[in-house]
Structure 1
Amino acid sequence: MIIENEKVRLEVVEHGGEIQSFYDLTHQLEYMWQGDAAFWSGKNPSLFPMVSNTWTKDYEWQGQRYAMKNHGLVRYADLKCVKHTADEIVMELHENEDTLKQYPFHFTFQIHYRLNGKRLDVVYHITNDSEDVMPFSFGLHPGFNCPLLPGEKFSDYKLVFPQDEQPKQLAFHGRHEIIDRSFKEIALNYELFEEYATLVYKDIKSPYVELVGPKHKVRVGCLGYPFLAFWTAKRDAPFICIEPWYGHGDFEEVNCSFDQREGTMNLKPHEGFTTSYFIELF
């Protein structure tokens, strides 16, 4: 499914309801990571109903054990296009036999994509179609080409916030620790990710973060998300993921029920949850 205007073109695919391409027609430039098994075959999965995984890779609910793959269900499913107009695409997933084996709830999961100039607004609607309270977490995982242009390096780029930040970093490198940080920008280098694997920050105040290179940048909205993570696969991987999250995986063994894990939301029967973010190209 494709929508475009005079400035950008967006392509969305059924698998995961993911963005296949967000292309700058002005500069003839692809901003989105296209996936490569040598580094990471993923692209920009939606994380539902779990961000990452539990410490044991499974969980108990009402006396039964269930397990999901990393980051939940949606990224592995094929979503149906339920709306495709000149400027909007809507993808949808309902529970099915496969999801119920992993997550015993009935739900409607929608992704709305809409273009506004060089900005893409992405809105998520999650509805609990069950008769019980539905615990879930949610996050985003869009990957961006980094570097964007031939001749540039990963280390030519930085992450820039519009205001000074003093978040807590949730670090796991041999042991779990929380580190107080202070910054307005983060210079990218592979050594940083070799030390921490994933940079996870709690309580970022800025409404967005920018991936800034020598000639171009991309702005990603993160307003309202309690956690913001950054990840790349390994040294020489030519991409970075900018990931607003509502929750996170277990950094250590957690002694609480599935619905009480940090960042888990509990949606009442037949109620809905809506959240959004945006990607803007420069």
Structure 2
Amino acid sequence: MTILENDYLRVSIRPKGAELTSIFHKPSGIEHLWQADPMVWGWHAPNLFPVVGGCLNNQLLIDGKAYPIERHGFTRQSKFETTESTTAHAIFSLPSSVVTRVHFPYEFEFQIIYELDGPRLTITYRVVNQDKKTIFFSVGAHPAFAVPFFVNENYEDYFIEFEEAEPLETHMLSAAGYFTGETKPISTEGSRLPLTRHLFDDDALVFKKLASRRVSLRSDKHDHAVTVSFPAFPYLGLWAKPGASFVCIEPWLGCADSEGQPRPIQEKEAIQQVAEGKVFEAAFTIEVS
């Protein structure tokens, strides 16, 4: 386990998936990450690569060949190497290998960088192209924040506050986790989306056209908050297991497939790319206030 720590936060990251397992706010004594109850949802904050969401037939079509790929990719199940580590930052590395090439036939290094600065944690995804051609991929985050913060509160005391007061429209998912092409308006109170135990009965809320690039998890009962800022990520997912005591705030560069016929990877919605010899980077932050 790798620990980053300062006067504000103590952050823990495990080698499997280079996954955050704890964001502990020292002044308040609050653990802000869901603690992965295996009877409910056994993850804390998985990192998603080289796909976000599900692919039709659980396959990626690359250069005319189909490669098996699980939902959200193989990164969350992979063991990363820690290449740098101090009390303020850590770099985790997953290089391409015989194992990854079964699912994703590129030469690459996928790095996840964690940097702690006061009450703010920055997470940077870096894709290093070591191949002789362009690499196509998706990448995203899936952190689950524990709700409520305090034992004398209820889940329904909380809301997601968007940076902008804007109309929200979610893109509907089928039972298999693919986009149906349908959308549905989501009721808000100005810039607030109240949390309820039934908000995610129809799966995740997926927003593709947000003006907001920052959202905060807040309560009606106090000013303590967690803010996720995602300037480089155009898509945002919100999700929780119905009835569970957490909410996931998920910045994405990529998304699940839509129902219909599979498409080559370079034609997938919101696909990213990095040219031969180049490096791709995108960062988001989690701040506790």
Query: Same fold per TM (> 0.5)?
Result: yes
Distance 1:255 1:180 in 2: 28
Counterpart amino acid of residue 160 in structure 2:
L
Deviation at 1:155, TM superposition (A): 1.2
Contact 2:126 2:280 in 1 (8 A): yes
Output aligned runs, 1:151-162, within 5 Å.
151-162=152-163
Contact 1:167 1:202 in 2 (8 A): no
Contact 1:39 1:234 in 2 (8 A): no
Listed as ranges, the gaps of 5+ residues in structure 1 are none
Contact 1:43 1:142 in 2 (8 A): yes
Q: Percent identity?
A: 29
Q: TM-score, normalised by structure 1?
A: 0.94
Contact 1:59 1:66 in 2 (8 A): yes
Distance 2:154 2:107 in 1: 45
Deviation at 1:180, TM superposition (A): 5.1
Distance 1:50 1:36 in 2: 25
Instruction: Give the corresponding residue for 1:199.
Output: 205
Aligned residue pairs, count: 280
Instruction: Give the corresponding residue for 2:227.
Output: 219
Distance 1:51 1:146 in 2: 24
Deviation at 1:222, TM superposition (A): 1.9
Contact 1:35 1:41 in 2 (8 A): yes
Output aligned runs, 1:114-263, within 5 Å.
114-172=115-173, 175-179=180-184, 183=188, 184-194=191-201, 196-213=202-219, 214-215=221-222, 216-235=224-243, 237-263=244-270
Distance 1:167 1:189 in 2: 16
Cα-Cα RMSD: 1.6
Distance 1:246 1:5 in 2: 30
Q: C-alpha offsets along residues 217-260 of structure 1, whole Å, 9 cap, x if unaligned?
A: 1001122311111000122x111100011111024124532211
Instruction: Give the corresponding residue for 1:100.
Output: 101
Q: SS of the residue aligned with 1:72?
A: coil
Deviation at 1:202, TM superposition (A): 1.0
Q: C-alpha offsets along residues 44-68 of structure 1, whole Å, 9 cap, x if unaligned?
A: 1111110012122113222322111
* Residues 205 and 139 (structure 1), Cα distance of their counterparts in 2 relative to 1, 3 Å cut: same
Counterpart amino acid of residue 19 in structure 1:
L
Distance 2:263 2:6 in 1: 49
Q: TM-score, normalised by structure 2?
A: 0.92
Contact 2:55 2:69 in 1 (8 A): no
Whether 2:26 is the aligned partner of 1:25: answer: yes
Deviation at 1:178, TM superposition (A): 2.4
Contact 1:142 1:243 in 2 (8 A): yes
* Residues 240 and 68 (structure 1), Cα distance of their counterparts in 2 relative to 1, 3 Å cut: same
Contact 1:165 1:182 in 2 (8 A): no
* Residues 11 and 255 (structure 1), Cα distance of their counterparts in 2 relative to 1, 3 Å cut: closer
* Residues 132 and 48 (structure 1), Cα distance of their counterparts in 2 relative to 1, 3 Å cut: same
Contact 2:55 2:71 in 1 (8 A): no
Per mean C-alpha deviation after superposition, the further-off stretch among 62-71 and 22-31 is 62-71
Q: SS of the residue aligned with 2:40?
A: coil
